[in-house]
């Protein structure tokens, strides 16, 4: 990859896409292109073709996707499969038609079976049933990686896929209904602390910056209290989802971006297997920290960082999702990349970012 190679980052305003853009810029890449969702709807095949006809990128990163936490995945099941299949079909398809030299597809570790052997190696793919709460999304992501692998095997392309663990970082989604657990907990603890301290200035400021269901800081106290109750934010306690027993692994989004650029710069499809080694020639690499924590432990850690001292309860009537999801990162480590930001420091950094944005 030369520094003036034309690189298209689909989803360059998202959590990971924006971090990949920043990482490439910091490494001296000068010819980056991106389009917002408003400028180019990747579900529109005609417009995606017109974009590729005009731009002819040499490298493509597919970081655009319809993304969300457990509740969003379980609720908008049709959107998760339909939109993700559409986006990746259009972007990977046009990349192929336009002779893109290298493509990086971002999947997710939810592609692996619900009861996969832990830590989960790349070879666990398609070895058992998926977790039902995110099955439509996982099937779309599996299709994306198989699309890459199949183009590689049939047409000799150089498409790679990376499977990140749960991510968090600057620009995260803090919407309490659709977000992932870490940003959701951070915001809930911030609001629960303010409520416990009767600090309405903090609550109103937060809602002004990020309205919840259209409720802003100008709403009446009763309306806000009603909204908070529905979100489990109570004057003396915070009620979180599930049992608190599931185990997750978290990776700072800028580490994820660095790993993605590392794969783009250093790993080709031919490096992911040895001739004759196996009949299966998957092109995916796990990206994670290899460090796990229970959701209950995560809640304690975030409470400590935010300074929330109230009771933390779990509501077992809400879904837990996969009970354990720890990636085996030995392939990534052996290729030469390791994460740098530990969870403790990452939460502090994200909270500082949250308070200032």
Ligand X SMILES: NC(=O)C1=CN([C@@H]2O[C@H](COP(=O)(O)OP(=O)(O)OC[C@H]3O[C@@H](n4cnc5c(N)ncnc54)[C@H](OP(=O)(O)O)[C@@H]3O)[C@@H](O)[C@H]2O)C=CC1
Ligand Y SMILES: C[C@H]1O[C@H](OP(=O)(O)OP(=O)(O)OC[C@H]2O[C@@H](n3cnc4c(=O)[nH]c(N)nc43)[C@H](O)[C@@H]2O)[C@@H](O)[C@@H](O)C1=O
Binding-site entries for substrate: 188, 241, 248, 320
* Pick from 37, 35, 27: nearest CA to 5: 27
Task: Pick what 136 binds: ligand Y, ligand X, none; C-beta below 5 to 8 Å, kind-dependent.
Answer: none
Interface with ligand Y includes 250 (CB under 6 A)?
A: no
Residue 74 CB, nearest distance to ligand X (Å)? 16
For ligand Y, the closer CB: 180 or 339: 180
- E strand or H helix that includes residue 153: helix 135-155
CB 261: neighbour CB atoms within 10 A? 22
From 42, 62, 70, 329, residue interacting with ligand Y (rule: CB under 6 A): 70
Q: What sign has the CA pseudo-torsion 140, 142, 148, 152? A: negative
The pair of three-digit structure tokens given for residue 10, joined into one six-digit string: 């689909």
Kindly list the residues in this chain that would bind ligand X in the complex (CB under 6 A).
11, 13-17, 37, 41-43, 63-67, 87, 106, 108, 164, 166-167, 180
CA distances, 267 to each of 80, 164, 234, 264, 287 (Å): 29, 16, 49, 6, 14
From ligand Y, ligand X, none, interface partner of 144 (C-beta below 5 to 8 A by class): none
- Who contacts 25 (Cβ-Cβ below 8 Å, separation ≥6)? 32
Identify the residue among 10, 181, 224, 259 touching ligand Y (CB under 6 A).
181
Q: Is 155 among the residues known to form the active site?
A: no
CA–CA dist 166, 186 (Å, integer) = 15
The burial class, CB within 10 Å (0-12 / 13-18 / 19+), for 146 is middle
Contacts of 276 (CB under 8 A, 6+ apart): none
Return the one option of ligand Y, ligand X, none that residue 92 interacts with (CB less than 5 to 8 A, by type): none
Site string for ligand Y, 140-179 (x = CB under 6 A): --------------------------x------------x
Which residue's Cβ has the minimum distance to ligand Y? 69
Contact residues toward ligand Y (CB under 6 A) are: 68-70, 73, 108, 110, 134, 137, 166, 179-181, 184-185, 188, 240-242, 246, 248, 295, 318-322
Residues catalogued as catalytic: 137
């Amino acid at each position: 990859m030369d520094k003036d190679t034309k690189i298209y980052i689909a989803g360059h305003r998202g959590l990971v896409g924006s971090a990949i853009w920043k990482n490439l810029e910091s490494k001296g890449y000068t010819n980056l292109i991106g389009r917002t969702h408003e400028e180019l709807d990747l579900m529109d095949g005609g417009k995606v073709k017109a974009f590729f006809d005009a731009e002819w990128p040499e490298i493509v990163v597919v970081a655009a996707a319809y993304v969300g936490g457990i509740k969003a995945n379980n609720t908008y099941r049709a959107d998760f499969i339909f939109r993700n299949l559409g986006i990746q079909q259009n972007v990977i398809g046009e990349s192929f038609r336009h002779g893109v030299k290298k493509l990086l597809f971002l999947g997710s570790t939810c592609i692996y079976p619900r009861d996969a052997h832990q830590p989960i190696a790349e070879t666990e793919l398609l070895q058992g049933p998926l977790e039902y709460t995110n099955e439509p999304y996982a099937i779309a992501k599996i299709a994306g990686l198989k699309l890459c692998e199949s183009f590689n095997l049939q047409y000799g392309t150089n498409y790679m896929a990376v499977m990140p663990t749960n991510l968090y970082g600057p620009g995260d989604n803090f919407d309490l209904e659709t977000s992932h657990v870490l940003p959701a907990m951070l915001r809930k603890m911030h609001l629960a602390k303010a409520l416990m301290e009767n600090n309405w200035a903090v609550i109103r400021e937060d809602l002004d910056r990020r309205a919840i269901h259209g409720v802003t800081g100008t709403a009446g106290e009763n309306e806000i209290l009603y909204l908070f109750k529905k979100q489990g934010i109570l004057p003396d306690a915070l009620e979180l989802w599930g049992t608190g027993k599931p185990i997750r692994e978290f990776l700072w989004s800028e580490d994820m971006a660095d790993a993605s650029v590392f794969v783009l710069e250093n790993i080709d499809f031919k490096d992911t297997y040895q001739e004759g080694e196996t009949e299966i020639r998957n092109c995916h690499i796990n990206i994670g920290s290899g460090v796990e924590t229970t959701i209950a432990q995560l809640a304690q850690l975030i409470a400590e960082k935010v300074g929330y001292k109230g009771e933390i309860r779990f509501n077992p009537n809400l879904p837990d999702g996969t009970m354990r999801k720890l990636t085996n990162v030995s392939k990534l480590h052996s290729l030469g990349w390791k994460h740098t930001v530990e969870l403790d420091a990452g939460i502090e950094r994200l909270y500082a970012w949250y308070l200032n944005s």
